[in-house]
Amino acid sequence: MGKPINEKHAIEVALFIVAFERPFDAITVQALPGLQALLKDDYPTFNATNVMEIRFTDSKIDQQIGAVTGCQLQKFREDGRPAWMLKVEGNAIVVSCMDYTRWDEVSSKALGHIKTALTLVKSETNAVVTVIHQIIDRFVAVNKEDYQVEQVFDTKSRYLTKQALESGTLWHVYQGWFDDVPEFGGKLLNVLNLSTADNPVGLTTTIDHAVHFQFQPSMAIDALDDLFMRKAFDTLHEKNKDTIRNLLNAKQQKAITHESVNKATHEELQD
């Protein structure tokens, strides 16, 4: 059976995203360094992000660093691996958690960071088009030579194709579908990317599920209050759990539900 990539659960990263109609203007970008002081306790490392300009000539490739387009804040583990990252660039605010514990704890922290970033990108003319929750789960095969798709998945899952089931160790399925969400005034887009890969840690199985609330029409920033954001991301969380339940086989679900070392994944399915 595939083992979760982390000691406590299978979640490699959980992302919380707010995307706008247009890229942030120059005035907004100039205000972003203010996040360094506002979030210094949560993100000790701050860096501006720049456009990389590449020009091709007859004799060489010339790379130049262009204008500042955003910023990136990070917190690292003791071993140097990233634990949290906040990126404000282009037309999006993205919070990434690589140190997942519990939904209530992680989501509250992420939404708090988004709320702080929103105060600096607030604009009456640049509305929000979507909020996204993305979870990437990974499992590692105990023995690559003995890999079978049913070590992780329910082979009767509607999300798997016949081709994937018959392709051996390496395969990839990419798909998407819409759900109507009248209470949010738009549609819910699910994007599901399932794959295997031969990595240094072993043969890994990846479940990459992103759920998008697409607002129709776009939503003003003022409408993204605490109550709305909590309801929106809790709904996206429930959609992710439902998809995972319909992907994993009975043994894998039992393992991540009942083994104490996998408490965080248990909560992903049972919260």
Which residue bears the tokens 């759990």?
Answer: 241
Cα angle at 101 between 205 and 159, to 5 degrees? 30
If you search the block for the tokens 């702080």, which residue do you land on? Answer: 116
Q: Where are the domains of the chain?
A: 3-270
Write out the two tokens for 12. 């490699």
Q: Can you say whether the dihedral through the CA atoms of 263, 264, 265, 271 is positive or negative?
A: positive
Please tell me whether the peptide bond between 182 and the residue prior to it is cis, using omega within 30 degrees of 0: no
Cα Rg of the chain (Å, integer): 20
- Report d(CA 145, CA 104) in Å as an integer: 39
Q: Which amino acid is at 241?
A: K
Contacts of 243 (CB under 8 A, 6+ apart): 159, 190, 192, 209
Average pLDDT, integer, range 112-131: 94
Q: Which amino acid is at 198?
A: D
Which residues, other chains included, contact 70 with Cβ-Cβ below 8 Å and sequence gap of 6+? 24, 29, 32, 48, 49, 87, 88, 89, 90
Length of the chain: 271
What is the C-alpha separation between 38 and 30, in angstroms, rounded?
Answer: 15
Which one has a higher pLDDT value, 148 or 68? 148
Q: Which of 64-78, 81-95, 232-246 has the lowest mean pLDDT?
A: 64-78
Residue 144 clears pLDDT 60, i.e. is over it: yes
d(C-alpha 43, C-alpha 35), whole Å: 9
Quick: pLDDT tens for 193-232: 999 999 888 899 999 999 999 988 899 999 999 999 999 9
For the chain, give the mean pLDDT.
88
